[in-house]
Amino acid sequence: MKKNREDLVSKLIDRDYIKTKPVEDAMKKVPREEFMTPETKNYAYLDRPIPLENGQTISAPHMVAIICEILALEKGMKVLEIGTGFGYNAAVVAEIIGPEGHVYTIERIENLKNISEQNLKRTGYSKNVTVIFGDGTKGYKEESPYDRIYATASAPKIPEPLKEQLKIGGRLLSPIGRDTSVQELLCLNRVSENEYKSYNLGGVVFVPMIGEHGWLE
């Protein structure tokens, strides 16, 4: 599996998805196969999304790389993730920000929350990743503000609580779209208390973000 992982990372570098050494090192280290169902482990290093449980998916590796590169993660950052899935993306982010940083990740499906906690503990990331069961569209005010916030599910617009919980100078990344089939990846930088600058980074496809400030179930 390790050679397959390294081969995939090499391809992502060649295709310019991975641009920096921290992202390269993290994706070489985190074992994606440990964050998948037993039936899909053999597909861990294909560059495509793979079904998990409860209608959710694990993002394609190139999308994980894109998210990490755009977020410009640094050691010691406090990060909020919306949509834990089986925990792979959170593990990659945790590897980049190091033990002095922390990822708070929210999962609305209790079964996935429990599985992701087991996966993160088994792979050694539970010390700097906290999994919260709840409505991700509300964020997690208890630990705000965050240096970085990102969503692995799409909403009709960026939930206001997430904008409010972003630190001034922080960056937020989320798929946004008027329907649940096609979205655009939006990057939001918080300039001041009431000013944000947004950038459209192109078309993507993610599962819907269900919740009070997202899509209705």
Q: Say if residues 95 and 68 touch (Cβ distance below 8 Å).
A: no
Q: How far apart are CA 127 and CA 99, in angstroms?
A: 8
What lies within 8 Å, CB to CB, of 7 at 6+ separation is 45
What lies within 8 Å, CB to CB, of 102 at 6+ separation is 78, 79, 94, 128, 129, 130, 143
101 burial (CB, 10 Å; 0-12 / 13-18 / 19+) is buried
Residue 183 CB neighbours (<10 A): 22
What lies within 8 Å, CB to CB, of 142 at 6+ separation is none
Exactly one of 10, 59, 144, 174 is catalytic; which is it?
59
Which residue from 146, 215, 147, 139 is spatially nearest to 176, judged by alpha carbons?
Answer: 215
Residue 17 CB neighbours (<10 A): 21
Q: Please confirm, yes or no, whether 59 is among the known catalytic residues.
A: yes
Instruction: Tell me which residues are annotated as active site.
Output: 59
